[in-house]
């Protein structure tokens, strides 16, 4: 089991390029992958995305890729003289059209893409890929290692909370048979207070108690809860992503507790249901972190 939160960083040097890759992931219902890499390498995104999707199925993934030419002078600048002359000619043409001076400033040259470039600002895609692939794989391995470690912590916490839910269900089952007997005594007391003496074995009284017991029967809900708890553990032990399945199970467990609370007609059981739902909400919050 993996968490959706993680971090991985790695670098790799090919013959002429050093690639540094940094990956961060946070919670997201779907896989949402974003790359930050040089513009001229944008066409590599598709193949790099496939690499990431092989190991990440959910979460927002931010991947920053920084490239550096080995041994290059980082301060050296390249000048595209033709592009600069073309810009100057365009300004002169515009000035003639407007019949007024239109001076060209240094800032205009700086703002125009491609006139001034760092010596490592242009990249050959194939050469860059030779450095990026190993760095990305290494960063993904570190990311998965961290996500699995956090996933193990989440699993331990979820199992402990699941045990608390099972204890509450056990207490509810112990209290459930007493509800019917208390209702029987309450009915008899009301009849006595009304001046009507009816034997406890009176058919009418027994029928009323039987109807009440049927309405309050929670055995089906408890059976389904036991099944949900077992399936929950199976998903926690599964090597496959289980976040969506666990989230669905939490909804089903919540539905069963709601039904128990409405059918039990008992303040004590109602309080146990509230306690269980409070713990279940903590479980649901943790499940949102699972891939």
**pLDDT score at 148:** 94
Do 136 and 170 reside in the same domain of the chain? no
For the chain, what is the domain count?
A: 3
14 and 144, same domain (yes or no): yes
Residue 213 domain-assigned?
yes
Look-up of token digits 């927002």: 60
Say if residue 203 is in the same domain as residue 253. yes
31 forms bridges with which residues in the sheet? 59
Above 80 in pLDDT, residue 177? no
User: Does 18 share its domain with 108?
Assistant: no
Average pLDDT for 70-77: 58
Q: What tens digit of pLDDT does each residue of 199-240 get? A: 556 566 556 555 555 566 777 888 899 999 999 999 999 888
- Same domain for 158 and 281, yes or no, is yes
Q: Is residue 256 part of a domain?
A: yes
Q: Are residues 57 and 88 in the same domain?
A: no
SS3 state of residue 220: helix
Statement to judge: residues 26 and 82 lie in one domain: no
Torsion angle (degrees, nearest 10) of CA 119, 125, 129, 130:
-70
Can you give the pLDDT at residue 109? 82
Contacts of 260 (CB under 8 A, 6+ apart): 172, 218, 221, 222, 269, 273
* Res. 253: pLDDT tops 90: yes
186 compared with 162, residue with greater pLDDT = 162
Quick one: 85 and 141 in the same domain?
A: no
Specify if 128 maps to a domain. yes
Q: How confident is residue 42, by pLDDT bands cut at 50, 70 and 90?
A: confident
Q: 30 with 159, same domain? A: no
Whether residues 11 and 98 share a domain: the answer is no
Helix axes 267-287, 243-264, angle to 10 degrees: 170
Tell me which residue range forms the domain holding 111.
77-118
Position with higher pLDDT, 243 vs 213:
243
144 and 29 in a single domain? The answer is yes
Most confident region among 178-187, 217-226, 274-283 by mean pLDDT: 274-283
Q: Is residue 1 part of a domain?
A: no
Which helix (H) or strand (E) segment holds residue 95: the answer is: helix 81-98
On whether the CB atoms of residues 8 and 139 are closer than 8 A, the answer is yes
How far apart CA 165 and CA 159 sit, in angstroms, is 10
């Amino acid at each position: 089991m993996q968490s959706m939160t993680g971090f991985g960083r790695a670098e790799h040097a090919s013959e002429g390029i050093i690639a540094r890759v940094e990956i961060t992931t946070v919670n997201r219902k779907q896989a949402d992958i974003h790359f930050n890499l040089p513009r001229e390498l944008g066409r590599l995104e598709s193949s790099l995305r496939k690499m990431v999707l092989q190991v990440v199925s959910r979460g927002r993934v931010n991947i920053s890729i920084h490239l550096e030419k080995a041994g290059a002078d980082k301060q050296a600048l390249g000048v595209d003289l033709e592009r600069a002359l073309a810009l100057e000619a365009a300004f002169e043409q515009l000035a003639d059209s407007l019949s007024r001076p239109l001076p060209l400033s240094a800032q205009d040259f700086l703002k125009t893409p491609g006139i001034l470039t760092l010596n490592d600002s242009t990249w050959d895609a194939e050469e860059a890929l030779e450095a990026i692939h190993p760095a990305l794989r290494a960063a993904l391995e570190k990311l998965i290692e961290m996500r699995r470690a956090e996933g193990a912590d989440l699993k331990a916490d979820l199992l402990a909370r699941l045990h608390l839910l099972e204890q509450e269900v056990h207490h509810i089952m112990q209290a459930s048979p007493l509800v019917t007997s208390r209702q029987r005594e309450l009915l008899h007391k009301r009849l006595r207070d009304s001046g009507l003496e009816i034997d406890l074995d009176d058919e009418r009284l027994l029928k009323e108690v039987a109807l009440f017991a049927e309405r309050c029967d929670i055995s089906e809900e408890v059976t389904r809860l036991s099944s949900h708890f077992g399936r929950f553990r199976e998903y926690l032990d599964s090597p496959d992503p289980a976040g969506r399945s666990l989230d669905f199970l939490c909804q089903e467990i919540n539905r069963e507790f709601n039904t128990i609370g409405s059918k039990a007609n008992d303040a004590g059981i109602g309080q146990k249901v509230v306690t269980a739902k409070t713990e279940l909400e903590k479980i649901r919050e943790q499940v949102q972190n699972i891939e």
